[in-house]
Amino acid sequence: MSWLQREIRLDPRPRGFHLITREVVGALQPELSEVQAGLLHLFIRHTSASLTLNENASPDVRDDFETWFNEAVDEDFRGWTHTFEGPDDMPAHIKASLLGSSITLPVRAGRFHVGTWQGIYLCEHRDSGGPRRLTVTAFGEGSD
Amino acid sequence: MSWLQREIRLDPRPRGFHLITREVVGALQPELSEVQAGLLHLFIRHTSASLTLNENASPDVRDDFETWFNEAVDEDFRGWTHTFEGPDDMPAHIKASLLGSSITLPVRAGRFHVGTWQGIYLCEHRDSGGPRRLTVTAFGEGSD
Amino acid sequence: MSWLQREIRLDPRPRGFHLITREVVGALQPELSEVQAGLLHLFIRHTSASLTLNENASPDVRDDFETWFNEAVDEDFRGWTHTFEGPDDMPAHIKASLLGSSITLPVRAGRFHVGTWQGIYLCEHRDSGGPRRLTVTAFGEGSD
């Protein structure tokens, strides 16, 4: 049984959806490459940003995510009462819960065992979210 | 390797979003405090209530969740055909899947290793949902 | 400690929400029946289909899911720019992230330890999605 628990700090990114697969894989070496069969849990320690898996090829998919979520969770919604942190704050909380604060992936033979087109998105819902902190926990059968 | 699997019964709560972090932590003692590094999985055994992580300080954030979800998943949507369990039933099912039936959290040094502002919400989508049953599974490296 | 990691191939299904609990349980025998207490992670290796847990009795609930999601994530939304894969493609990506690419369930005494009414849905968001591949990872305390 191999265990790995580690913090990853993501540099500030603009509001929108960002592909972070490569950065996450890099931060988990060399231990990830030793997990033969297991799971990886990626968790974001914030309430106004989120994580999801989606299409990793076309930047316009990520643009369309931003456009659709801004329309679906409107900053101008008349029902907001929690407004003192700015117009982007309450929509960010809703978006974060719609998308979720963690993803869990299968690991096999030292790699994420996901579909060809699946990439990890950091979903930054604030205008100025600052750096974001992730906690990664991986566990499984090791190679020895 | 430490394992813990336990049932938690939540008393009935009114429709809305409720902070239950303290109640969950309390129900997991003393075992949780012995996990040095691991994960905790919290699962709700219902299809018309859900769990999410979000802002734990301002009650108006939770009020705005209720307002927004009621607008987004409208009881008066003309497309509903499953109506015999009441107007709040079908919207409750949709909301439950949008938010999800489980959350998974990192555990470190005997505590939930989450962000300062992250609390656990019980999302009660029915007008009279009654008591709700959770199953908690925690596992990780113990202190010995 | 018992581990199980396995692929499941689901035959093509029409666009909509489909109950697959029985098929998943069948694919995990006999190993699942030997897990005394643990977790099961079910992961879909695609970005235009998803997994969720919801009501397992009434087919009209699943029909209403399809109706509501088609209204909420409209193929005719004017904001789409990623359109070259067809009008159902970009909505499928959004729906997949709203619902999620994996579910995690408690296992006890060799069975899914879920609520009476909870079933596993394959959410097929494409008009012609083809076969879908799942990866199941289960782990827990075995019976010996």
Interface test with B, best of A101, A133, A135 (most B CBs within 10 A): A101
Q: Please, which pLDDT band fits residue C45 given cuts at 50, 70 and 90?
A: very high
**Cβ C132 vs Cβ C15: under 8 Å:** no
Q: CB-CB: which of B43, B44, B97 is closest to C52?
A: B97
As a whole number, the mean pLDDT across chain C is 95
Q: What is the pLDDT of residue B50?
A: 98
A83-127 pLDDT per residue, tens? 999 999 999 999 999 999 999 999 999 999 999 999 999 999 999
Q: Please, which pLDDT band fits residue A3 given cuts at 50, 70 and 90?
A: confident
Give the pLDDT mean for B10-26. 97
A89-98 pLDDT per residue, tens? 999 999 999 9
User: In this structure, what is the dihedral angle of CA atoms C94, A95, B118, B3, given to the nearest 10 degrees?
Assistant: -20
Q: What is the pLDDT of residue B1?
A: 63
d(C-alpha B26, C-alpha B47), whole Å: 25
- What are the structure tokens assigned to A126, written together? 């604030």
Q: Please, which pLDDT band fits residue C1 given cuts at 50, 70 and 90?
A: low
Among B residues 63-92, those touching chain C with beta carbons less than 8 Å apart: 72-73, 77, 79-82, 90
Neighbours of chain B (3+ CB pairs under 8 A): A, C
Check if the interface score ipTM surpasses 0.95.
yes
C11-21 pLDDT per residue, tens? 999 999 999 99
Q: Please, which pLDDT band fits residue A144 given cuts at 50, 70 and 90?
A: low
* Amino acid making up residue B21: T
Q: What is the pLDDT of residue B2?
A: 74
Question: ω before C30 within 30° of 0 (cis)?
Answer: yes
